[in-house]
Amino acid sequence: MKILIVEDEPSLREIMQRALLQERYVVETAATFAEADAKIAGYSYDCILLDIMLPDGNGLRLLERLKELNKRENVIIISARDSIEDKVLGLERGADDYLPKPFHTAELLARIRSVLRRGRSGGELVLTLGNVSLEPENGRVRVEGRELPLLKKEFDILLYFMQRPNHLVDKSVLAEAVWGDHADQADNFHFVYAQMKNLRRKLAEAGATLELKAVYGFGYKLVPPTEE
């Protein structure tokens, strides 16, 4: 799961980022309206934590930008402005939740899990394709009911593909989605190839009926089992 933190206060941004990383999320940050605007235009996120009061613009305008870009990211507004007007305006413009400052990180994490359940997972806590089941919240994968141990990035890759069955995914898009900002610092995609090779081997050895197929010159596609 990939999250964008839009917050101009450095210490709070760092606290939020550290808490999310501990929960196995891929995290990117933006400190200004301009930086956040560029991020949402170029990339996709599972959830955006949005401060309203930014030094160079109103965070609510980013909600309008998401609509203009036909994006469907989950958005939690995080702001020191705890007025009814701000809450109503934010929700009317497409935000999923509103969390006033100050807040405890435990509550923030609970709010994120809640909007993610209502969003891509459709309220379900388990993603299932063929004989493979994946539990996003606790990082578990099972094949035919038997737990399959995966490294963190292997799990993140499988989650990404299980949310997008039959979609052809460019290797650069995959790298950015799973590795976040750090993907831009890589000179090649050896780290993607290595993780994909290990994940595909583990799935095959476990007898998984779904398949992560390599598409030469482009990337990968998750192919669910064919219904008999």
Question: Does residue 228 lie within any of the structural domains?
Answer: no
Question: Does residue 64 lie within any of the structural domains?
Answer: yes
Residues 138 and 112 in one domain: no
Number of domains into which the chain is organized = 2
Question: Does residue 178 lie within any of the structural domains?
Answer: yes
Instruction: Report residue 134 CA to chain centroid gap.
Output: 15
Question: Are 192 and 157 in contact, with CB atoms under 8 Å apart?
Answer: no
Question: Are 115 and 76 in contact, with CB atoms under 8 Å apart?
Answer: yes
Q: Which residues contact 37 (CB under 8 A, 6 or more apart)?
A: 62, 65
Residues 6 and 112 in one domain: yes
Residues 101 and 165 in one domain: no
Q: What is the CATH number of the domain that holds 112?
A: 3.40.50.2300
Question: Does residue 44 lie within any of the structural domains?
Answer: yes
Picking from 96, 118, 140, the residue at the C-terminal end of a domain is 118
Picking from 118, 145, 178, the residue at the C-terminal end of a domain is 118
State pTM to two decimals. Answer: 0.60
Nearest to 169 by CA among 147, 191, 196, 187: 196
Residues 90 and 131 in one domain: no
Give, for all 228 residues of the chain, the pLDDT tens digit: 789 999 999 999 999 999 998 888 889 999 999 999 999 988 888 899 999 889 998 888 999 888 888 787 889 999 876 666 777 778 888 888 888 888 899 999 988 988 877 655 444 467 888 899 998 777 889 999 899 999 888 988 898 888 888 888 888 878 877 776 555 544 556 778 888 999 999 999 999 999 999 888 788 999 988 643
Rounded Cα distance between 216 and 1, Å, is 26
Rounded Cα distance between 3 and 23, Å, is 11
Residues 69 and 154 in one domain: no
Picking from 87, 118, 149, the residue at the C-terminal end of a domain is 118
Rounded Cα distance between 49 and 4, Å, is 6
Q: 30 is in which domain, residue-wise?
A: 2-118
